[in-house]
Structure 1
Amino acid sequence: MTPLKTFRFVAIAEAVTWALLLTGMAFKYSDVTDLGVRVFGMVHGVVFIAFVLTTLLVAVDQRWSARRSVLTLLASIPPFVTIVADRSAEKAGVLATAWRLTATEPQRTLDRPVAWLLRNPVRGAVAGVVAVAALTGVALLVGPPAS
């Protein structure tokens, strides 16, 4: 998967889970059922964490500016704005069709772990799943947002 395809996939998934969560909220506040919020809230939380980690990975590999990185991370908060962030990044030409750090030597401190993840795709994928699971666990320990 390229940076463009990876980022787009997770950005779309984040927007879809927002739609599912909002649908679940509509059912909950219509006194139909709160099952949608419980299920889709969890799914959205997991995909939200995956979007944040993917954004960080792509931002380091593609050498995004701090401004673009922060704005893209913030795009995960309002519903559906990850789609806008994806289109904006593609239009600005900051989503390449190849991972930079698979072909070049790491120059900066953050490049080293990202290069390792990209050069060892199976281990990198496992590390990503473990990171998402660990951060989801922390979020569950902290508890759901106040409703």
Structure 2
Amino acid sequence: MSPRTFYRTLAIAEAITWTLLIAAMIMKYVFKVGDWPVKVGGFAHGLVFIAYVTTAVLVGLNQRWPVRLIVGAAATAVIPYLTIPFDRWLEKKNRLDGEWRTQATAHPHDGHWVQVVLRWMLNRPVLLSVVFVVFVGGIMSTMMFVGPPGGRA
């Protein structure tokens, strides 16, 4: 899976889970069906939100985006559906071109420890996948322990 495909998949998933969360809130507050839709939609959205932000950082590092662009990509998940036009903008600016950078190049930043670790992980896709899942799951577990925004009802 290329960086473009990986990023785009999570950008679309983020938009889909916004739809689930909004529909869940309508079910709860308009149709008075209880809290369960928001619990389900909120969980799905939270999980994909964390995965999208993690993906934005991973792809941004691979594509050598400036820090402000990585932060901007992550921030698009906060506004409903903004990940989709941002993905299109990245495509238009050729910011998603290329494969995973598994080999060092003559680029001056390739010697930086972050790039060295990134290449090391990219050369071990199973390990990277496990670290990704554990990282996202760990943040999600922590957030579940802390509780929902605004506290528990």
| TM-score range relative to shorter protein | over 0.9
Tell me what 2:70 maps to.
Answer: 69
Q: CA RMSD in A?
A: 1.3
Tell me what 1:102 maps to.
Answer: 102
Tell me what 2:13 maps to.
Answer: 13
Q: Distance in 1 between matches of 2:117 and 2:61?
A: 10
Please state if 1:128 is matched with 2:132.
yes
TM-score (norm 1): 0.93
Tell me what 2:147 maps to.
Answer: 143
Q: Does the 8 A contact of 2:103 with 2:119 survive in 1?
A: no
Tell me what 2:2 maps to.
Answer: 2
User: What fraction of aligned residue pairs are identical, expressed as a percent?
Assistant: 39
Measure how far apart 1:103 and its partner are: 2.8
* 5+ residue gaps, structure 1: none
Count of aligned pairs: 146
Runs (4+) of structure 1 exceeding 6 A deviation are none
TM-score (norm 2): 0.90
Measure how far apart 1:146 and its partner are: 1.1
Measure how far apart 1:112 and its partner are: 2.1
* 5+ residue gaps, structure 2: none
Measure how far apart 1:8 and its partner are: 0.1
